[in-house]
Structure 1
Amino acid sequence: MNTADLVFVGFNRRVAALKRQTGELVWEWKAPNGLSYVSLLLDGEMLIASVNGYMYGLDAATGNERWYNEMKGFGTGVAALVSVNGMSSNPVMAAAEEATQASQSAGPVSTST
């Protein structure tokens, strides 16, 4: 299946791929380590999943685990993921950045009446 036809969701140590048009489950995967929160980044044909400090590389089309890194010494929490193909970060920060760019593009605001 083409990854452009999929939507990826992650929560409670689980990751799933759904068909974009129907929501039908294509595959699911459960992290063997970590608890609860999942951060995801689609990097080409690789889906990177972070589960409380544990990192996994999944084949985006099949959900098969390609690699694992326990990230010793980094701690746990919500991960911000970035690659040449995209990024994952706090949606509020992304919205704030977008608003800042929009206001800068609008030019100076006149204060006279």
Structure 2
Amino acid sequence: MNHLYIGTNGNIAALDSATGEMLWATELRTGGILSSTRGEDVSVILRDGRVFAGCSGHLFCLDAGSGDILWHNELKGFGHNDVSLALEGVSVQYLEKIVRRSN
């Protein structure tokens, strides 16, 4: 089964790429009642059965089959910005979002 992994609004989800059925979803929480990752963009990359997710200055590693968070790194000293990811010739980066409104 081929899965599609998406990241949005501080969450990661796995979908069946043939049907669009959601297989699992995990909220990337940084601890406490208020999470600094809520509503944030998420960079996602897959390698060796693990999903790596960067969000609001935090890095997460999840099990690709279950969505369980295996580890979380606060990336202390880097601030709370978008996180770009790269693994051996593959990279995920965010470009500036542009909102255009018509008059």
For this structure pair, what is the TM-score category when the shorter chain's length is used for normalisation? 0.7 to 0.9
Post-superposition, which runs of at least 4 consecutive aligned residues in structure 1 deviate over 4 A?
none
| Residue number in structure 2 paired with 1:25 | 22
- Does structure 1 residue 87 correspond to structure 2 residue 84? no
TM-score by length of 2: 0.77
Match of 2:4 among 7, 11, 18: 7
**Alignment partners' CA distance in 2, 1:37 and 1:82:** 16
Match of 2:53 among 36, 39, 49: 49
Structure 2 unaligned residues grouped into runs of 5+: 31-35, 96-103
Could you give the per-residue CA deviations for residues 61-109 of structure 1, whole angstroms, max 9, x where no partner exists? 1101111100000112222101237321347xxxxxxxxxxxxxxxxxx
Quote how far apart the aligned CAs of 1:18 are. Answer: 0.2
TM-score by length of 1: 0.71
Asked whether the equivalents of residues 58 and 83 of structure 2 are also in contact (C-alpha less than 8 Å), the reply is no
| Residue number in structure 2 paired with 1:38 | 42
Structure (1 or 2) with the larger CA radius of gyration: 1
Structure 1 unaligned residues grouped into runs of 5+: 92-113
Root mean square deviation of aligned Cα: 1.9
Structure richer in helix, relative to its length: 1
